[in-house]
Structure 1
Amino acid sequence: MVSYVFYTFARSIDGQNSSSEKLSTRVMLMLKRILDILLSGLGLVLLSPLFLLFATLIKLDSEGPVFYRQERIGQNRRRSERRAFDLDLTSDKRRNRNRAREDYCGKAFIVYKFRTMIKDAEKKCGPIWATKDDPRITRFGRILRRTRLDKLPQLWNVLKGDMSLVGPSPERLYFVRKFAPQVKNYTKRFTFKPGMTGLAQVEREYDSSDGDVNKKLRYDLHYINNWNFWKDIQILSRSMLVMLTGKGAF
């Protein structure tokens, strides 16, 4: 009888702790989204003159558009949305079934960046990693990449809710198709919104080979498994240092 009372009491305490942790996590995620909205909105307004300057310099430096638009894979959809997706798939025979599997990794969205490469850079070679002396990168593009300022248009993605200020880097569909079946725990990086910056981004340079994927994934998983609101603040502070020093950029 006594053991049963202790067991019931322990279960009730454990349930309270679990509920408290879930509530704390929800509050932290709410704070994260509020910070995203405030800083991205403020950034778009205050940095608008810089956007205009960069647009002019990009057009003067090389032929092509100011902005680079590309489909990336973001955060996982909710289970109910996945179920609706599957129902829609069965009613439309022409839809690509591979896309259903990819949707389990994350939701596709269009990411925006300042263009740093020549026009149609991948028209002949297809999707490949950028390298240190990549001839496709323009003169002004090298400056933007070194300072990470090419990512500033992603403030719009953050404001829309496709991305967060901090999180795993948004990945291209081509590489998701390639690495999801091969790399263990690769799809776990899609449990968080992708970020303009993140732990992997401040610890390592841009990916330049397939081998870099595993190295960055370790940082992404560490961030996801140990995330809290204050870690985001620390990473944002470190990101400013990376922008000033050009650490890890080509």
Structure 2
Amino acid sequence: MIILGEKYILTELERKRLAKKFSKIEYIKYRNGDVEEIIGKIEKALDGNGPKLIVLNTKAPTPNRLIAYLTNLELKGVSFVSIEHFLESYLHKCFISEDRTDLTYLENIKPYTPWQYFQKRAVDFFGIFWLFFFSWPFMLYSAYRIKKESPDGPIFFKQKRVGFGGKEFECIKFRSMVPDAEKGTPKFASKDDPRIFEWGAVMRKTRLDELPQMWNILKGEMHLIGPRPERKYWTDQFEKIIPYYNERHLVKPGVTGWAQVMYPYGSHHEDAKQKLMYDLYYIKYWNIILELKIVWMTAMTVIGKKGI
């Protein structure tokens, strides 16, 4: 496979995932490059039994000479795919352009149909029944550990989050940080955040801290699966710098989601953008198979068999 250009820069995690699918990956820069030099690099990469897929990952103007060369390659059996379709087909995320010229998400990202919503609520009720059946001992033990390690604070942590339609609701979780950790300017939790006590770190890694949100699901404020709800402070910030950020509010948030099982904890607006790409893919291509896949991947995370 050849990735031509740097319109989108793959993350290290994505490079590792693609290395499992392609035996050889060549990265060829395009912007401000000499056309003949670029053709030479492509020829070298295609030599022998090398890659037969070229990802068009450039937004720079393409000279007729290069277009003619690429067209001839297609006649010889080389396949081409745009970076937008490549990300959706191979990495299961939607591309968000930096130049803000693509308005197609306003058409493509839609709320669930009545039939889709019925299926999601069926998954919600079926899921939380079995989730509570298997998790209540862990919930009791978590309550015990929270009071033991951080006795000055409450067991549950309640916080307003932005949900469906951009409206706020009160989200409930097991408290994983010391009391008053959220005072002052809000900030993301980091990997070795000193505000998180020992059992709190375990709960975050295994998603046990999210279990009380079964109550939010029963109330109809959340789904079992969906984009994770954020605080209004963060959504206001992200809306200003990340195109289409509020598209994720066309559906109800979830306890877990596609972004959660595909991308690690983030602490920067770039992480929020990466997660939005996965959220947009989830909404755009929602189906019951994808829903059940996320349930399975989350379960594997909880029992330590999978997770980032």
1:177-196 aligned at under 5 Å gives the runs 177-196=236-255
Structure 2 equivalent of residue 18 of structure 1: none
Q: Distance in 2 between matches of 1:71 and 1:246?
A: 32
1:228 aligned partner: 287
3-state SS of the aligned residue for 1:110? strand
Higher relative contact order (CA 8 A, sep 6+): 1
Q: Provide runs of 4+ in structure 1 moved above 4 Å.
A: 246-249
Q: Which amino acid in the other structure matches residue 126 of structure 2?
A: L
Amino acid at match of 2:157: Y
Q: What are structure 1's unaligned runs of at least 5 residues?
A: 1-21, 77-105
Q: Which residue of 2 aligns with 1:109?
A: 169
What residue number does 2:149 align with? 61
TM-score (norm 2): 0.60
**In the alignment, structure 1 residue 33 sits paired with structure 2 residue 92:** no
Q: Which runs of 5+ in 2 are unaligned?
A: 1-109
Q: Could you tell me the percent identity over the aligned residues? A: 43
Does residue 1:204 correspond to 2:292, yes or no?
no
Cα 1:246–1:213, aligned 2, differ >3 Å: closer, same or farther? farther
**1:171 matched to which residue of 2?**
230
Cα distance in 2, alignment partners of residues 46 and 246 from structure 1: 17
Aligned to 2:164: 75
Aligned residues: 197
CA distance in 2, matches of 1:225, 1:67: 34
Equivalents in 2 of 1:46, 1:247: separation in Å? Answer: 19
SS in 2 for 1:171: coil
Number of the residue aligned with 1:239 = 298
Over residues 10-48 of structure 1, what are the superposed CA-to-partner deviations in whole Å (9 max), with x where a residue is unaligned?
xxxxxxxxxxxx9x9422320211221232244335533
Partner of 1:154: 213
CA deviation after TM superposition for structure 1 residue 229, in Å: 1.8
In structure 2, how many angstroms separate the alpha carbons of the residues matched to 1:134 and 1:111? Answer: 21
Shift of 1:160: 1.0
Does 162-171 or 42-51 show the bigger shift?
42-51
Q: 1:166·1:195 contact (CA, 8 Å) conserved in 2?
A: yes
CA distance in 2, matches of 1:122, 1:115: 11
* Bigger helix share: 1
**Structure-2 residue corresponding to 1:120:** 180
Shift in CA distance, 227/209, structure 1 to aligned 2, threshold 3 Å: same
CA distance in 1: counterparts of 2:305 and 2:214, whole angstroms: 20
